[in-house]
Structure 1
Amino acid sequence: MILLRRLLGDVLRRQRQRQGRTLREVSSSARVSLGYLSEVERGQKEASSELLSSICDALDVRMSELMREVSDELALAELAQSAAATDPVPAPVRTFNAVSVASLTGVAEDRVTIKSPADVVAGVAA
């Protein structure tokens, strides 16, 4: 089962880590407890839109960018889930974001555009 809260938490953690910031720094800036932010990042708590807005402000990331990345991750997870359901022998599944596609294809990260899961499959095959 794909849980949106886990995908959202993964994306938030990657955003924070890309900036080299600690949970403590972001929780203080977002005015949310360290423990609660940690639970959101681990996908254990559902974040309200108000909380997401505060975290995005603290990370200086537009919520639309965050949700776009979550949407890409969700599309890939759905694709992997449907492929696993139709395959008689389960194959290992790996999700890719723009950073990992860029590293696999040798294309600069800011040049990777993922419009659909098929783009990722094509990008990885290239």
Structure 2
Amino acid sequence: MVLLRQELGDVLRDVRLQQGRTLRQVASRASVALGYLSEVERGQKEASSEILAAVAEALEVPLSSILREVGDRLAVMEGIEVPALDPALQRIPDAVPDELVRELSSFAG
């Protein structure tokens, strides 16, 4: 059985190690007990959303990126193909009305 807390811990550890940071550095910046963060990374503890947000901020990585990576890894384990994020969604926020986009596009070219 795949456990969310294990994958989340793996992703947090991977990000931390890629950045060359120690557990102590991240725990200090996130104001989280070193032992607790270690348990989170090993998948032994479920971290609250507040703790996850603090650790993500300490790692200078958006929480959404961490959660997306966890989701992608879980999908692979479940044998689900993970589609790439639509590039259009990365450029234009959903909150911008299509009419405004068309109007502004007409000025550009």
The equivalent residue for 1:115 is 83
Instruction: Describe the superposition over 1:22-74 as per-residue Cα deviations: whole angstroms up to 9, x where unpaired.
Output: 00000000000100000000000001000000000000000010011000000
In structure 1, stretches of 5+ residues that fail to align are 81-113, 117-126
The equivalent residue for 1:17 is 17
The equivalent residue for 2:8 is 8
| Runs of at least 4 residues off by over 6 Å | none
Shift of 1:77: 1.0
Identity over aligned pairs, percent:
60
Structure with bigger RCO (C-alpha 8 Å, 6+ apart): 2
Amino acid at match of 1:23: L
Within 2, Cα distance between the matches of 1:40 and 1:77?
20
Within 1, Cα distance between the matches of 2:25 and 2:8?
19
Within 1, Cα distance between the matches of 2:71 and 2:2?
12
Within 2, Cα distance between the matches of 1:115 and 1:71?
12
The equivalent residue for 1:46 is 46
Alignment of 1:1-126 (within 5 A): 1-79=1-79, 115=83
Give TM-score scaled by structure 2 length: 0.73
Amino acid at match of 2:21: R
Aligned length: 83
Structure 2 residue matching 1:79: 3-state secondary structure: coil
Structure 1 residue matching 2:20: 3-state secondary structure: coil
Within 2, Cα distance between the matches of 1:77 and 1:38?
24
Give TM-score scaled by structure 1 length: 0.64
In structure 2, stretches of 5+ residues that fail to align are 85-109
Within 2, Cα distance between the matches of 1:66 and 1:59?
10
The structure number with the bigger radius of gyration is 2
Structure 1 residue matching 2:24: 3-state secondary structure: helix
Structure 1 residue matching 2:83: 3-state secondary structure: coil
RMSD (CA atoms): 1.4
